[in-house]
């Protein structure tokens, strides 16, 4: 069985080895008082270890390798940063090594000291062909272990997503309201048309809407015109009015639409057609000026949801999913799931990002509370964990599980996962 070096790191750190009568390669006794602290930066693997070798107590660093000869493979013999290593811990001791200052390095071999069942459990995880490595074992793990690890994973997810927000914030000269507007537009694209909605927002600065804040028809004309949907002939009055208004506004502001070819309709439910989403997005703009400021002010989840309810969508869309295509009846409002998606993927994320950016933990706490207050998402990934025995009650947990799958399970990083470690240590 091939054993990765990172597993030896874990075995050393958690003392998952037979520690009776430990000896160096030159037969000196070893007593581990403190195995040290994992070093995430350049240099030896563990720092501040405290070890008695023979009759001498040493405080310093520990380096981990599969074989002693890896010391030379990695060039440590030429690096003064490794002169303070007090113990070389390896699986197999195949040669004696020296530091850059010429000192011979004491070596501890763990061959024969590692429990075979631990290695088998590791192999069963890494070699698993299930939906995720521990699919067959996770049901037997205490819920406290899972719930204890998920917060860390959720923070990882939010912090990763913050990077995109901070990049756009810098591009927009620190304007949080404009940045929020761009990401809100993206959220109305609901994955399939997210990029198109972002391009629309970039082509249509929010300040233009402020000049027409009491004129719904002109805001709708700007949205549909910039989206490219008004470059055609219409039979009905409403789209013709939009076309007329946009022609005037396009010339006035020197606008150029992004092109209708960007929008996707194929294999979509009519309720998710981009035309209806654009109508709802325009209605949100009409309803709420400086939306991000309101998000920061409103602290109750129920009131946050109200920001996205009862949107003043033009009555034309009651009988249309598309221009020039009439239908019996259309639900003009965002559904509960759509509002939840916006709260999860945009509102909670911006609360967290705003708190992180300004070092205001209260906004980050609000982001967590918001996710805890929203029902669990329904998708294939979440269902797989649920079917494996994981109890899931809210969006806080589902967002964490999505990150767990992407950054841990799919990459077989069981040694970095609190759940995987629990399975290995059982």
pLDDT for 1 equals 62
How does pLDDT run across 319-337, given as a tens digit for each residue? Answer: 999 998 889 899 999 999 9
What mean pLDDT do residues 399-407 have? Answer: 98
Buried b (16+ CB within 10 A) or exposed e, 242-253: bbebbeebbeee
Cα–Cα distance for residue pair 323/233, rounded to 1 Å: 10
* Cα separation, 39 vs 62, whole angstroms: 10
- At residue 2, does pLDDT exceed 80? no
Residue-level pLDDT at 17: 95
pLDDT in tens, 126-151: 988 999 999 999 999 999 999 999 99
Per-residue pLDDT tens over the stretch 12-65? 999 999 999 999 999 999 999 999 999 989 999 999 999 999 999 999 999 999
Does residue 214 surpass a pLDDT of 90? no
Mean pLDDT lowest for which of 205-214, 351-360, 388-397?
A: 205-214
Q: How confident is the model at residue 287 (pLDDT cuts 50, 70, 90)?
A: very high
Give me 64's structure tokens: 């981990």
For residue 347, give the nearest of 273, 280, 407, 294 by alpha carbon: 294
Q: Minimum mean pLDDT among 1-5, 172-176, 221-225: which range?
A: 1-5
Residue 156 has pLDDT above 90, yes or no: yes
User: Residue 118 and residue 15: Cα distance in Å, rounded?
Assistant: 12
* pLDDT tens column, 416-425: 999 999 999 8
Contact at 8 Å (CB) between 118 and 135? no
| Strand 85-92 to 320-322 pairing | unpaired
């Amino acid at each position: 069985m091939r054993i990765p070096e990172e597993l030896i790191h874990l075995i050393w750190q958690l003392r998952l080895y037979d520690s009776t009568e430990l000896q160096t390669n030159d037969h000196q006794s070893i007593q581990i008082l403190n195995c040290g602290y994992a070093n995430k930066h350049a240099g030896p693997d563990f720092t501040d270890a405290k070890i008695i070798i023979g009759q001498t107590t040493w405080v310093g660093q520990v380096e981990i390798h599969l074989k002693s000869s890896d010391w030379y493979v990695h060039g440590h013999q030429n690096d003064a940063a490794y002169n303070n290593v007090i113990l070389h811990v390896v699986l197999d001791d195949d040669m004696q090594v020296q530091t850059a200052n010429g000192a011979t390095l004491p070596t501890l071999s763990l061959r024969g000291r590692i429990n075979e069942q631990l290695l088998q459990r590791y192999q069963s995880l890494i070699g698993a062909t299930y939906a995720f490595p521990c699919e067959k074992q996770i049901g037997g793990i205490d819920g406290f272990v899972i719930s204890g690890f998920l917060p860390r994973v959720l923070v990882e997810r939010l912090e990763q997503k913050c990077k995109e927000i901070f990049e756009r914030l810098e591009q927009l000269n620190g304007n949080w309201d404009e940045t929020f507007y761009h990401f809100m537009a993206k959220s109305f694209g609901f994955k399939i048309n997210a990029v198109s909605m972002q391009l629309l927002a970039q082509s249509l600065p929010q300040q233009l809407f402020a000049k027409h804040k009491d004129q719904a028809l002109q805001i709708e004309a700007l949205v549909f015109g910039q989206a490219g949907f008004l470059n055609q002939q219409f039979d009905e009055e409403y789209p013709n009015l939009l076309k007329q208004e946009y022609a005037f506004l396009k010339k006035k502001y020197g606008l150029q639409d992004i092109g209708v070819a960007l929008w996707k309709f194929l294999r979509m439910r009519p309720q998710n057609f981009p035309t209806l989403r654009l109508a709802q997005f325009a209605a949100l703009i009409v309803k709420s000026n400086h939306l991000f400021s309101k998000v920061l002010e409103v602290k109750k989840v129920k009131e946050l949801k109200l920001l996205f309810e009862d949107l003043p969508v033009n009555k034309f869309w009651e009988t249309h999913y598309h221009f020039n295509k009439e239908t019996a009846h259309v639900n003009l409002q965002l559904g509960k799931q759509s509002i939840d998606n916006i709260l999860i993927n945009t509102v909670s994320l911006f609360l967290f990002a705003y708190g992180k950016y300004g070092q205001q933990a209260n906004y980050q706490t609000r982001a967590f509370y918001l996710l805890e207050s929203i029902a669990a998402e329904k998708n294939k990934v979440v269902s797989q964990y649920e079917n494996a025995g994981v109890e899931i009650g809210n969006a806080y947990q589902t967002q964490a599980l999505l990150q767990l799958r992407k950054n841990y399970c799919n990459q077989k990083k069981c040694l970095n996962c609190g759940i995987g470690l629990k399975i290995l240590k059982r």
